[in-house]
């Protein structure tokens, strides 16, 4: 039997940073489901699918191979980790990830990945949908200005010339879209533990999650 930790939360809540750290400490496999939605968005853009009308052209998703190697996102054998972080992908990923045909396929892939390994998976619908039976479910949140500032520094570091105002507007737009879409919206699972990361360091949040997880499996 394998263990799984589901981490959900809005953009900038610290999910991926914390999830990576927890995975490193526990020697678990980290699965960044946001990267998978971004990769499909990149492929649709590269294929020039008109207005991203993927529903009429979705067979390409079935021919797409997605895998993680050393925390890098490989699509069809090519490392796309950098390309999936561009503004063009960010602007379109909410739309693409709201489509049922995209979600259906990626959720199957994600469940498959969790079958043969101990995993930490982060996203928006992991606790509510992908891994409903996860050993531990965590919902991370943080104040909107903290989330925007984190995202702003992250984008700056990767060489983007966005402003803080652009970043906060984009975060609000994406949160609204992700929380109100029809299929598997961003939502805290009833049995998830909610942690606000605004005032804590990555190490503090990591240690807290590991402590909760170890207590949970000790009492199993």
In 29-117, DSSP assigns E strands to 29-32, 66-69, 72-75, 78-79
The answer to whether the beta carbons of residues 209 and 18 sit under 8 Å apart is yes
Length of the chain in terms of residues written: 220
**In the range 159-188, which residues lie near ligand DC by CB under 6 A?**
174, 178
For ligand DC, the binding residue among 3, 28, 37, 152 (CB under 6 A) is 37
Binding mask 123-142 for ligand DC (x = CB under 6 A): xxx-----------------
Which range in 18-26, 55-63, 121-129, 157-165 contacts ligand DC by CB under 6 A? 121-129
| Closest among 123, 51, 39 to 86, alpha carbons compared | 39
In terms of phi and psi (left: phi > 0; alpha: psi -120 to 50; beta: otherwise), the region of 211 is alpha
For ligand DC, the binding residue among 38, 43, 137, 206 (CB under 6 A) is 38
For ligand DC, the binding residue among 4, 13, 29, 33 (CB under 6 A) is 33
Give ∠ CA 121-123-125 in degrees, rounded to 5.
Answer: 105
Is 94 among the residues that bind ligand DC (CB under 6 A)? Answer: yes
Which range in 42-50, 51-59, 70-78, 120-128 contacts ligand DC by CB under 6 A? 120-128
User: Considering all CA atoms of the chain, what is the largest pairwise distance in Å, rounded to the nearest integer?
Assistant: 53
Taking the alpha carbons at both ends of the chain, their separation in whole angstroms is 13
Closest to ligand DC by CB, 4 vs 94, is 94
Closest to ligand DC by CB, 109 vs 212, is 109
Neighbours of 100 (CB within 10 A): 13
For ligand DC, the binding residue among 6, 7, 11, 136 (CB under 6 A) is 11
Binding residues for ligand DC, rule: CB under 6 A, are 11, 33-34, 37-38, 93-94, 97, 123-125, 174, 178
């Amino acid at each position: 039997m394998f263990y799984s930790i589901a981490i959900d939360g809005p953009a900038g809540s610290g999910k991926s940073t914390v999830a990576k750290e927890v995975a490193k400490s526990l020697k678990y496999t980290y699965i960044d489901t946001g990267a998978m939605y971004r990769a499909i968005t990149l492929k649709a853009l590269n294929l020039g699918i008109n207005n991203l009308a993927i529903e009429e052209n979705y067979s390409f998703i079935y021919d797409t191979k997605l895998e993680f190697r050393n925390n890098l996102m490989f699509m069809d054998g090519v490392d796309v980790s950098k390309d999936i972080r561009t503004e063009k992908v960010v602007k379109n990923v909410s739309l693409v990830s709201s489509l049922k045909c995209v979600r259906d396929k990626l959720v199957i892939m994600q469940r498959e990945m969790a079958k043969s390994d101990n995993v930490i998976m982060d996203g928006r619908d992991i606790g509510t949908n992908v891994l409903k039976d996860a050993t531990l479910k965590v919902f991370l949140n943080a104040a909107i200005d903290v989330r925007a500032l984190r995202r702003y520094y992250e984008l700056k570091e990767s060489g983007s010339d966005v402003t803080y105002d652009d970043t906060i507007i984009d975060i609000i737009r994406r949160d609204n879209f992700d929380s109100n879409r029809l299929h598997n919206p961003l939502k805290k699972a009833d049995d998830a533990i909610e942690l606000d990361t605004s005032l804590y360091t990555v190490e503090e949040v990591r240690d807290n999650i590991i402590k909760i997880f170890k207590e949970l499996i000790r009492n199993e």
